[in-house]
Amino acid sequence: MTAAAAGEPLLSIRGVRKAFGATVVLDGIDLDVDAHRCVVLIGASGSGKSTLLRTVDLLEEVDDGVVLLEGEDITDPRRDADADRARMGMVFQAYNLFPHMRVLDNVTLASRLVHRVPRAEAEERARAILDRVGLGSRASAFPDELSGGQQQRVAIARALVSSPRLMLLDEVTSALDPELVGEVLDLLVELKAEGMTMLVATHEMGFARHVADEVCFLHAGRVHERGTPDQVLGDPQQQRTREFLRRLA
C-alpha cells in the first residue's frame, strides 16, 4: 500500500455521479477527508448521504468520477474491492449482526472468512476491540441478549477489527432508543480523539457540532454548503441549508 503523500487527503471524492434509473442522486460530489478528521454529511431524507457512503465503500458503482483512498483510485474496476473495502469500516443504522452467532463470532467472521486470519489470532484481536468498546464481558452473548446500543457497539467493533484507515458511519444512532444514543456517540467521540478518520451521515446536530471538523450539507446531488459546524449549523449562508435546519429545530 502506498502511503499518502504528506498533505494529501486520506479520502478524496472527485466529481462523483450516481443515478438510479432516471433519478440522479449524486451529481458531481467533491469532498475530501484529511487524516484524523471527521466530516459530517447532513441533508434531507433522499439527499444521497447513504448513497455517497455506499459509493465510497464500493457497495455502489460510480457512474462517473473517482474515489481516492490514500491517493489510490479504489473505483478502478481492476482493483481488488474486498482488499480496498477492508481498509474502511462501515457501520449502518441497522446493526446487521447475525442473530444466530455470538458477539465474538460476529466480530471475527469477516477476518476469518474473507481475510483468512487464523481463528485464535482473530479472536484475540476481537476480544481486545470488544474491551475497547466496553463489551469485553459480552463476547459469548447472542445479539438479542444485548441492548440496541450494545449491539451497535458490537457493529462498531466489527468495523474496527480490521484496523481501518477510515470509518464510514451511516445514521448509526437512528434506530436506538433515545437513552441509548449517548453511549454510541460517546464511543465515536473517543475514536475521533484517538485519531480515527471518519465520514459520518447523521441528523445528530449536537454530535456534528461537537465532533465534526467539517459539515457538508447535501442538496440536489451536490455539496450545497460546507464549512465548520459553527459556520454551517450556526450561520448558514444558503437558503436551503437554513430551511433544512429550521425543519430540524
Ligand X SMILES: Nc1ncnc2c1ncn2[C@@H]1O[C@H](COP(=O)(O)OP(=O)(O)OP(=O)(O)O)[C@@H](O)[C@H]1O
Distances (CA, A) of 72 to 1, 9, 155: 9, 11, 27
CB of 188 to Mg ion, least distance (A): 17
Distances (CA, A) of 80 to 18, 58, 64, 75, 166: 21, 11, 19, 10, 17
- CA pair distance 207, 68, nearest whole angstrom: 27
- Out of Mg ion, ligand X, none, which partner does residue 236 contact, by CB within 5 to 8 A per kind? none
Regarding 221 and contact with ligand X (CB under 6 A), the answer is no
Residues 6+ away with beta carbon under 8 Å from 95? 143, 148, 151, 152, 154, 155, 175
Q: Which is nearer to ligand X, 31 or 135 (CB)?
A: 31
The answer to whether residue 20 forms part of the interface with ligand X (CB under 6 A) is yes
| Binding characters for ligand X, 169-208, by CB under 6 A (x = yes) | --x-------------------------------------
Contact in structure between 118 and 125 (CB atoms under 8 Å): no
Rounded least distance, CB 31 to Mg ion, Å: 16
202 interacts with Mg ion by CB under 5 A = no
Chain residues 30-89 in contact with ligand X, contact rule CB under 6 A: 43, 45-51
Residue list 40-69, contact with Mg ion (CB under 5 A): 49-50
Residues binding ligand X (CB under 6 A): 20, 23, 25, 43, 45-51, 171
